[in-house]
A and B are shown apart, each in its own frame.
Chain A
Amino acid sequence: MVATATLRDRALAVLETVTDPEIPVLTIADLGILRDVAVHGEGVEVTITPTYSGCPAMNIISLEIETALARAGIEARVRTSLSPAWTTDWLTDAGRRKLAAFGIAPPERTGSRRALFGESRPACPLCGSADTEQISEFGSTACKSLHRCRACREPFDAFKCH
């Protein structure tokens, strides 16, 4: 019993170091995609839920989970669970703060469809001004849109509400 708890705790500690390859300040726990870690015999089964349908980072994240755990001597397999579907509401508060500090406006906190098309514009993560405009609703990755701050004139990314 003690050994089982220890293995799971060790695995969780290792998983704290696994980050999103596109947004390296976010761990998979910050993203909210780490759903479960279960002890299976000598190893663990890690369950993750994919973010956006077309996110190419998901394959890399699976690989990095296995690699990080293997490096710590823990045998692991990664299971992908589609249901329930991930939304940006699953981002943790710590994750949202890290995003803003990294220069990416965090998504509005609501799973409602209206938020997708709301006229609300994200505040500038650099100077904090609310006077911003959207340049493109498709950005450098599937999860981001491109904006510009009218106050400090800097362009910035925003995490799309999803």
Chain B
Amino acid sequence: MSTTSIAVRETPLVVQLLRRADDALILGHRLSEWTGRAPTLEAELALANIALDLIGEARALYGHAGTFTGHTEDQLAYLRDADAWRNCLLVELPNGDFAVTMARLLLFSAFADTFWRAAVASVETTLAAVAARAEKETAYHVRHAGEWLIRLGDGTAESHRRAQAALDALWPYTGELFVTDAADAALIETRVIPDPAALKVGWNATLGGIFARATLARPEDGWMQSGGRAGRHTEHLGRLLAEMQHLQRTHPGATW
């Protein structure tokens, strides 16, 4: 292994696996940043556990992607530059306050929940197997984040204000979850992946129920951010990668 960045030959299936893996790893890394500084012990355990679930999902997906690209899961995680990452922008944004962290977790998990439930039926057996585990774990994530949003939204004036501000700020990043391109189309057609556009009904229903109980307003669907799936990221991803990849870049192939 060398510190030189790898180039990944991206077939449509590899792109798809990387999108799911990158979403999971980047969000898992963000959640792990709360370790040691969460507001309560239970919140800390929950965030660390959810981070572990996501990083575990990513490992299985990188392992599978690597059988096509000839890389190890570590190479895919630690030796790609920012423009080779295929995660959506939503997951790379900084944690913000606790309301932003929980709102982002809810918005993402509500999507992942519908995606994995549908992907259990994928004709790609490894993706289906990852989905079978992930859909159960993601159900816990949705419930946990949802309960927090309800508590924050229906809590004090200050917690309500912060929860609403978090939703408003994050909303323009949710459009990217449902965007499809030519690479997706063929895989949707052959039933390798579910059609993300078809998942929006379920996503809206999950969120609608939670927002109502949280007394939070669903933000208007306006102009939506995008670019992450094509490798055009915010400045935040570069900083995250600098920290996450530091060890392997500095000490190539280090193990312990």
Residues of A within 8 A of B (CB): 50, 52-56, 82-86, 113, 116-117, 135-140, 142, 146, 160, 162
CB of A53 within 8 A of CB of B57, answer yes
Rounded to whole angstroms, the CA-CA distance of A50 and B137 in the bound complex is 14
Q: Which of A54, A82, A136, A160 contacts B42 (CB 8 A)?
A: A136
Instruction: Find chain B residues with CB under 8 A from A160 CB.
Output: 140
Closest chain-B Cβ to A43's Cβ sits at a distance in Å of 23
Task: Decide yes or no whether B23 CB sits under 8 A from chain A.
Answer: no
Rounded to whole angstroms, the CA-CA distance of A53 and B59 in the bound complex is 8
Q: Mark B135-177, 1 if CB is under 8 A from A, else 0.
A: 0110110011000000000000000000000000000000000
Closest chain-B Cβ to A125's Cβ sits at a distance in Å of 20
Closest B residue to A135 by CB, please name it.
B42
Q: A52-B137, A55-B56, A137-B140 are in contact. Are A84 and B49 (CB under 8 A)?
A: no
Task: Decide yes or no whether B15 CB sits under 8 A from chain A.
Answer: no
Rounded to whole angstroms, the CA-CA distance of A46 and B127 in the bound complex is 22
Q: Which of A54, A83, A135 contacts B55 (CB 8 A)?
A: A54
Closest chain-B Cβ to A143's Cβ sits at a distance in Å of 10
Q: A83-B126, A136-B46, A138-B42 are in contact. Are A53 and B132 (CB under 8 A)?
A: no
Instruction: Find chain B residues with CB under 8 A from A116 CB.
Output: 136, 139-140
Task: Decide yes or no whether B54 CB sits under 8 A from chain A.
Answer: yes
Instruction: Find chain A residues with CB under 8 A from B129 CB.
Output: 82-85
Rounded to whole angstroms, the CA-CA distance of A82 and B124 in the bound complex is 12
Closest chain-A Cβ to B123's Cβ sits at a distance in Å of 12
CB of B133 within 8 A of CB of A138, answer no
What total of chain B residues lie within 8 Å of the partner, measured CB to CB? Answer: 30
CB of B46 within 8 A of CB of A53, answer no
Task: Decide yes or no whether B6 CB sits under 8 A from chain A.
Answer: no
Give chain B's interface secondary structure class: helix
Closest B residue to A84 by CB, please name it.
B129
The 10 closest A-B pairs by CB, nearest first: A54-B52, A53-B56, A54-B56, A83-B129, A85-B132, A138-B46, A82-B129, A138-B49, A54-B53, A136-B42
- Inter-chain pairs besides A86-B133, A136-B46, A137-B143, 13 sampled, C-beta below 8 Å: A53-B52, A53-B53, A53-B134, A54-B53, A54-B57, A56-B52, A82-B60, A83-B126, A83-B128, A83-B129, A138-B45, A138-B49, A162-B136
Residues of B within 8 A of A (CB): 42, 45-46, 48-57, 59-60, 64, 125-126, 128-130, 132-134, 136-137, 139-140, 143-144
CB of B133 within 8 A of CB of A53, answer yes
CB of B128 within 8 A of CB of A53, answer no
Closest chain-B Cβ to A15's Cβ sits at a distance in Å of 23
Query: Which of B56, B134, B139 has its CB near the most chain A CB atoms (within 10 A)?
Result: B56
21 of the cross-chain contacts (CB-CB < 8 Å) are: A53-B54, A53-B59, A54-B53, A54-B56, A82-B64, A82-B126, A82-B130, A83-B126, A83-B128, A84-B129, A116-B139, A136-B45, A137-B46, A137-B143, A137-B144, A138-B140, A138-B144, A139-B45, A140-B45, A142-B49, A142-B53
Rounded to whole angstroms, the CA-CA distance of A85 and B45 in the bound complex is 25
CB of B125 within 8 A of CB of A117, answer no
Q: Which of B45, B54, B136 contacts A54 (CB 8 A)?
A: B54
Rounded to whole angstroms, the CA-CA distance of A54 and B129 in the bound complex is 15
CB of A52 within 8 A of CB of B56, answer yes
Rounded to whole angstroms, the CA-CA distance of A140 and B48 in the bound complex is 10
